[in-house]
């Protein structure tokens, strides 16, 4: 591939996915002098809205069609929310870049209440994320958590139509779409630990596209990459499926990466969360992954084995 060959970015067609693809398109142009156009695609994950992701085949549903486009040469680049990218990429693909993370926190969104604490006893909160459900119930066992899927606009509409007292969404997505004003409060990281990779963007390419990999390397944000590698390693070590209520978040204190992880029971969502915190001086991907494995080992010591699906 030469610098003058226009690139094609495969993207889902939700507003958030298009924002993310356009963001990468702009950075390719501004920082690497590369021209790219967008190829919009509808994925199975976008079409099936009435069942939870874990029941219909997991987060991989959002990336498979984009990978097919890469494999067939219809596109060279796929842009994903990193948290939607499975822990193991299929053979033939690689993550060529992880970009600087937006706010990784989860947001409390409601029309009549300013925070989780303000919700009345027994209030209905919308979320289909097992990770959010288990943490919500651990903070407020009285709440009724009801399924809520669809893209961000759909979820906000369902809130506005009165189906829920409140909903929980990633702050990053709301901010990217100019919907930051819908955030009533942000959960503390310690209260509502984010999903591995939350708020970060990943750029996937064909593993044999070495020249492109080398170009994209200049877009990598190392602190985000290393934190996300540690977070994703926790998930990978525990089996890595999105049917697990698993949270993992790494934050930097100087050169030390502090990694927190929490695991809820795969079926009994009211079981107490298992929590582990580890820290280490991390300077490369290998050390980041080792830190993640250390956190996973701690969770196993605490009894994670009986929390995982049999």
Q: Which stretch binds ligand PBG (CB under 6 A): 77-85, 108-116, 157-165, 214-222?
A: 77-85
How far apart are alpha carbons 291 and 148 in whole angstroms? 33
- Comparing CB distances to ligand PBG, the nearer of 60 and 173 is 173
Pairing label, strands 93-98, 106-109:
unpaired
Q: How many residues touch ligand PBG (CB under 6 A)?
A: 9
Backbone angles phi, psi at 81, to 5 degrees: -65, 125
Binding mask 127-156 for ligand PBG (x = CB under 6 A): ------------------------------
Q: Does 83 bind ligand PBG (CB under 6 A)?
A: yes
Least Å from the CB of residue 176 to ligand PBG:
7
- Comparing CB distances to ligand PBG, the nearer of 92 and 180 is 180
Least Å from the CB of residue 242 to ligand PBG:
9
> Considering only CA atoms, which of 106, 104, 133, 83 is closest in space to residue 271?
133
Q: Does 169 bind ligand PBG (CB under 6 A)?
A: yes
* The token pair that represents 1 in the structure block: 């591939």
Least Å from the CB of residue 99 to ligand PBG:
10
Binder among 135, 198, 215, 224 for ligand PBG (CB under 6 A): 198
How far apart are alpha carbons 96 and 76 in whole angstroms? 11
Least Å from the CB of residue 14 to ligand PBG:
9
Transcribe 116-151 into DSSP letters. Answer: GGGSPTT-EEE---HHHHHHHHHH-TT-EEE---S-
Binder among 84, 103, 209, 231 for ligand PBG (CB under 6 A): 84
Backbone angles phi, psi at 253, to 5 degrees: -120, 95
* C-alpha pair distances (Å), 98 with each of 101, 167, 171, 173, 236: 8, 28, 18, 16, 18
- Sign for the CA dihedral angle at 16, 225, 130, 108 comes to negative
DSSP state of 202: E
Q: Does 172 bind ligand PBG (CB under 6 A)?
A: yes
- Comparing CB distances to ligand PBG, the nearer of 183 and 304 is 183
Q: Which stretch binds ligand PBG (CB under 6 A): 165-173, 219-227, 233-241, 293-301?
A: 165-173
Catalytic position from the list 30, 46, 50, 84: 84
Least Å from the CB of residue 129 to ligand PBG:
7
How far apart are alpha carbons 155 and 158 in whole angstroms? 5
Least Å from the CB of residue 255 to ligand PBG:
25
The reply to whether 112 belongs to the active site is no
* The token pair that represents 150 in the structure block: 């669809």
Q: Does 173 bind ligand PBG (CB under 6 A)?
A: yes
Residues 251-290 within binding reach of ligand PBG (CB under 6 A): none
Nearest-5° angle of CA 287, CA 290, CA 295? 130
Go through the chain and tell me how many residues it has.
310
Catalytic residue set:
84
Residues in the site for ligand PBG, rule: CB under 6 A? 81, 83-84, 169-170, 172-173, 198-199
């Amino acid at each position: 591939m030469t610098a003058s060959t226009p690139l094609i970015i495969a993207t889902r067609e939700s507003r958030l996915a298009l924002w993310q693809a356009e963001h990468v398109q702009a950075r390719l142009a501004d920082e690497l002098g590369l021209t790219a156009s967008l190829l919009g695609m509808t994925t199975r994950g976008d079409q099936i809205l009435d069942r939870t992701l874990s029941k219909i085949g997991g987060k991989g549903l959002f990336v498979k069609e984009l990978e097919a486009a890469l494999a067939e040469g219809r596109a060279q680049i796929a842009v994903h929310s990193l948290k939607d990218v499975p822990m193991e990429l299929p053979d033939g693909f690689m993550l060529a870049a992880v970009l600087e993370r937006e706010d990784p926190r989860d947001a409390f969104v409601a029309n009549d209440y300013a925070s989780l604490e303000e919700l009345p006893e027994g209030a209905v909160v919308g979320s289909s994320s097992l990770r959010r459900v288990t943490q919500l119930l651990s903070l407020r066992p009285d709440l009724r958590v009801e399924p809520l899927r669809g893209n961000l606009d759909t979820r906000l509409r369902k809130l506005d139509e009165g189906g829920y007292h409140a909903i929980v969404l990633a702050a990053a997505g709301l901010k990217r779409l100019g919907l930051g004003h819908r955030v009533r409060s942000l959960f503390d990281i310690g209260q509502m630990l984010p999903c591995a990779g939350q708020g970060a963007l990943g750029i996937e390419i064909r593993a044999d596209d070495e020249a492109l990999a080398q170009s994209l390397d200049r877009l990598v944000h190392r602190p985000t990459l290393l934190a996300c590698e540690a977070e994703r390693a926790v998930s990978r070590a525990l089996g890595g499926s999105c049917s697990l209520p698993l949270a993992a978040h790494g934050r930097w204190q100087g050169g030390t990466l502090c990694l927190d992880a929490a695991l809820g029971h795969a079926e009994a969502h009211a079981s107490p969360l298992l929590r582990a915190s580890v820290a280490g001086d991390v300077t490369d991907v290998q050390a980041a992954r080792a830190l993640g494995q250390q956190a996973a080992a701690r969770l196993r010591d605490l009894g994670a084995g009986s929390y995982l699906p049999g």
